[in-house]
Chain A
Amino acid sequence: MKLQLKGVTKRFGTFTANDRIDLTVQPGEIHALLGENGAGKSTLMNTIYGLHSPNEGEILLDDRRVSFDGPGDAVEAGIGMVHQHFMLIPVFSVTESVMLGYEPTKSAGMIDFAEARRRVQEISARFGFDVDPDAKIEDLPVGAQQRVEIIKALSRDARVLILDEPTAVLTPQETDELIGIMRQLKEAGTSIVFITHKLREVRAIADKITVIRRGKIVGEALPDSTETQLASVMVGREVNLTTQKDPADPGDVGFSVEGLTVVSGSGKVVLDDVSLEIARGEILCVAGVDGNGQSELAEAILGLRSAVAGTITLDGTNLRRMSVKERLNAGIGFVPEDRSTDGVIPAFSITENFVLDQYDQQPYSNGIAMRPTVMREAAVEQTSRFDVRLGNVDDPISTLSGGNQQKVVLAREMSRDIRLFLASQPTRGLDVGSIEFVHRTIIEERDKGTPCLIVSTELDEVSNLADRIAVMYRGVVVGIVPGHTNRDVLGLMMAGVPVKEAYAQAQDHHTILGEADEEAQA
């Protein structure tokens, strides 16, 4: 089906999220919509899917004008959407999930399970999906859950499929499978709109690329453009995708974790006998698909989660029995994963956020009374050193952009003498410019001789920063490999394959993205 947008504009109050967007997706085309976080990609897709109604402009399907009052209308018209966060009910079976809301019925309104099951099998056979219709959603790996979402869309005869950041939660191998599925769907004549901010995927998959920036279409590109070209269009200026860094000069071990085990509130082992060592002046990245215990590792090191066993040693002292405050004062600089809930207090001023974890320490206070002048001076000095774009340090931090908020967090953690830099997803949700800055700052911290532990699910970030990479899978460290290890190996390890086997398997089979990488390097 052909999808066409003409002058679609969506405003929220005075803010224009989409400004006169023209877009044509041909039948059987994989159309990538590329843009940074907050560029307006998701708003646009939600408009197509009937979640928002546009202020101006029109949507045409096969040259016929349509208007949707809600997702129901859009589904009816043949539009399917797979959200970044899946809309599935964990305790339902695959069949139940697929038919939810569109249950086939027998006489007397009874649900026709056999028919529903047959339909799931039929679709999954047609595209070789390999999904058991009776499996429970919660038992399926993320990649399979995504396939269930796709089956759901297809079972409603979707002929335009919108995929919102579909690879964010996948390992490279799962991404590979997804790419295969997308190609099959394309063969079958389904149009695919594919939203992403990851450049390498776009190049590997898309037939056509539309770049969107600040709500406007700023350019179209063909998949043979280089990543740097694409990035420049996306950001609007020249960018460096890789940060220059000198080889690490590791000193003696500054920080180590030994046999750390953490059990979650529901009794699940989330960290299983994890051991790591980081030398001074070295960056260790913890890679893995989201939800494999990396966040818990960071939280356990800071003391937000208590460990049932193991030691956490910083400069020879065991931190395990210490409170969060004692650990921070022992020299941990922590950048939390979720900035808005854990990193800053939005209603507090920039100054207050700047001293958030040092408020009761010298020189900001004498333990009882705070010293506003000292705090303010330090905030002014350090925010300018970290190039935070701000009006006034007395303004609430919520007036800053995400990137600038993150810089305040970094300024807070790095402006004191730290013995360990611990960051979880330090660049999540940031624009390319800020990512560059954050990476550079982390490398500078390393060069000062601080051991750095960076948790990241973005492989780009990991290969950009890491001197060594620890890959985690279901709470276990699968292996620790050098920083330049290739993506195929890392991908296999992220799926739980042990180091040696991963190397062997990667030799035999290259992923599409891995090949694209090699081509780009050649």
Chain B
Amino acid sequence: MSPEKNNDDDAAPGGALKEAESRLHYAVRELSQASWVITLLSVLVALVVGALLILATNPQVQGTLGYFFAQPGDFFLTSFEVIRDAYSALFRGAVYDWQAATPERSIRPITETLVNAVPLILAGLGIAIGFRSGMLNIGGQGQIILGATCAAFIGYAFQLPVGAHLLLALVGGALGGAIWGGIAGVLKAKTGANEVIVTIMLNNIALYLIAWLLRQQWFVQTGSNQPIAAPVDESARLFGILGTGFRLHAGIFLAIAATVFVWWLLERSTLGFEFRAIGENPEAARTAGVNVPKATALVLIIGGALCGLGGAAHLLGTEYRLAAGIAGTLGFDAITVALLGRSKPLGTFLAGVLFGGLRAGGVLMQAQTGTPIDIVLVLQSVIVLLIAAPPLVRAIFFLPHPDGSSRSSRRRRLREQQAAETASQPAPRQEVTK
């Protein structure tokens, strides 16, 4: 980006907003170019930071500090044991539990990880498409809610044969998300409305829409006043693939298929070429004959569809009943997942699995060692924060700067900091009070 360009933006009306926006885009692009080594190191540093926090809050460790100077060995030994126990519980909860009673229970954690990962991967891919196309889709939350809502309604309100019912529910979910994303997309394409603001607003609208729907008897079909919808029919559920005792459902195939599809879309299709072109340089794309408004709208429609599919898979595979908190913090975690995955399909898939694992493992860690599950949130945040600041990671590990120059490093760091702030803002816990 040339400095002249920035000056032009300054001079234009609403320059400050545009400037901030272009910086965000720049930051997202920078993030997506950070090397995978940085990603790995970031995870490592996050684990260290997490360990320090575990120590700081652990009563046993605090106890040994009382007589630290008399017997420092105790402190180190206890610390080691506490961290080992906590992280081994995290691992056993997320991947493989060697202490479990039966072999089935031993492998259950990894399946739980995948269960958590399914909606994260699907929604993360939706967000990643936006990032690659220069659009910051903050509306994952709203799109997930709409997807889950449509899928749920189709799931219990219609009576259809087994395969068709599930298919229709999934398509309906994707359509719900696509419409929600499409509103922002069409507004941006037609009027230039800033997609960040529109998608954030649409999140709120979705939240209140679902709260209202859950109070309508025609919608919930439960005959009760509880703001919770009827469970979806057996025929519309994503079937389990490992039998009883496991929650893992066919949604994982959906996630894998979506990952391959998004890769094909971005790297091999003409539409993806247009997406990436408008993301990198909309002027050049326009000059090359790309219909920029159309592509802009399609980015958010397809991104919204994937988020909607994520919501649908979450509902049809895990929750089965629609409630106001159906999306949890999925929409915001999906942004983090896309960032961590550097907006690449495979990266997003792996990041989704990692976050799913942290979530699954966090439960066991809390249950077995009393370490608060909030540590998981800290780990997630630190990872993203560090990925957003490659120079910091390089400084920690004494790695050389890739282009060997310190040129504009301060400015770049500033920009990255901003991106990190947006990305690592704790997901606002929006809940509709009755």
Seen from chain A, the residues whose Cβ lies within 8 Å of a Cβ on chain B are: 12-15, 302, 304, 323-325, 327-329, 334, 336, 340-348, 352, 356-357, 359-360, 365, 367-370, 372
Contacts and interface: CB of A to CB of B under 8 A. Distances in A.
Secondary structure of the B contact surface, majority rule: helix
23 contacts: A12-B405, A13-B404, A15-B405, A304-B286, A324-B289, A325-B289, A327-B289, A329-B289, A341-B2, A342-B284, A342-B286, A348-B276, A348-B277, A348-B280, A356-B284, A356-B288, A359-B274, A360-B273, A365-B270, A368-B271, A369-B270, A370-B268, A370-B270
A284 to B, nearest CB: 21
A367 B270 contact: yes
Nearest to B287: A342
A360 B270 contact: yes
Given A14-B404, A324-B286, A368 B270 contact: yes
Nearest to B7: A85
B2 A340 contact: yes
Given A302-B287, A356-B284, 11 more contacts: A13-B403, A304-B286, A325-B289, A328-B288, A342-B284, A342-B287, A344-B284, A345-B280, A346-B280, A359-B288, A360-B270
Contacts of A367: 270
A130 to B, nearest CB: 30
B405 A14 contact: yes
Contacts of A13: 403-407
B273 A352 contact: yes
A343 B277 CA distance: 12
Interface in B278-317: 280-281, 283-291
A21 to B, nearest CB: 21
B269 interface: yes
B5 A341 contact: yes
Contacts of A304: 286-287
Contacts of A302: 287
Contacts of B286: 304, 324, 342
A105 B280 CA distance: 50
Contacts of A370: 268-270, 273
B296 to A, nearest CB: 15
Contacts, number: 82
Contacts of B285: 345
Contact of B269 (A328, A334, A344, A369): A369
B284 A345 contact: yes
Contact of A345 (B277, B289, B291, B403): B277
B270 A357 contact: no
Contacts of A324: 286-289
Nearest to B281: A345
A304 B292 CA distance: 12
Residue of B268, B273, B291 with most chain A CB atoms under a 10 A cut-off? B273
Interface string B97-119: 00000000000000000000000
Contacts of B271: 368
A341 B289 contact: no
Contacts of A327: 289
B29 interface: yes
Nearest to B273: A359
Contacts of A325: 289-291
Q: Which 5 pairs show the lowest CB-CB distances between chains A and B?
A: A13-B405, A325-B289, A357-B288, A360-B270, A345-B281
A368 B265 CA distance: 9
Contact of A343 (B264, B270, B287): B287
A340 B286 CA distance: 13
Interface in B368-418: 403-407
A352 B287 CA distance: 15
B62 to A, nearest CB: 48
Contact of B284 (A15, A341, A368): A341
A328 B288 CA distance: 8
A304 B276 CA distance: 20
A37 B324 CA distance: 62
A336 B287 contact: yes
A365 B271 CA distance: 11
A345 B279 CA distance: 10
Interface in B200-240: none
Nearest to A364: B270
A328 B289 contact: yes
A347 B290 contact: no
B431 to A, nearest CB: 41
Nearest to B2: A340
Contacts of B284: 341-345, 356
A65 B297 CA distance: 61
Contacts of B291: 323, 325
B114 to A, nearest CB: 30
Contact of B281 (A12, A323, A346, A372): A346
A345 B284 CA distance: 7
Contacts of B268: 369-370, 372
Interface string B1-40: 0100100000000000000000000000100000000000
Nearest to B5: A341
Nearest to A353: B284
Interface in B254-279: 264, 268-271, 273-274, 276-277
Given A324-B289, A357-B289, A365-B270, A341 B283 contact: yes
A8 B274 CA distance: 47
A359 B267 CA distance: 12
A334 B268 CA distance: 25
Contacts of B2: 340-341
Contacts of A344: 281, 284
A12 B407 contact: yes
A334 B287 contact: yes
Contacts of A368: 269-271
A12 to B, nearest CB: 6
A342 B277 contact: no
A421 to B, nearest CB: 15
B29 A342 contact: no
Contacts of B283: 341-342
Nearest to B29: A347
Nearest to A328: B289
A372 B268 CA distance: 8
Residue of B289, B403, B407 with most chain A CB atoms under a 10 A cut-off? B289
Contacts of A342: 283-284, 286-287
B44 to A, nearest CB: 28
Nearest to B272: A370
B13 to A, nearest CB: 12
A203 to B, nearest CB: 31
A30 to B, nearest CB: 29
A356 to B, nearest CB: 5
Interface in B69-116: none
Nearest to B285: A345
Given A15-B405, A304-B286, A334-B287, A341 B270 contact: no
A109 B287 CA distance: 53
A327 B281 CA distance: 21
Contacts of A345: 277, 280-281, 284-285
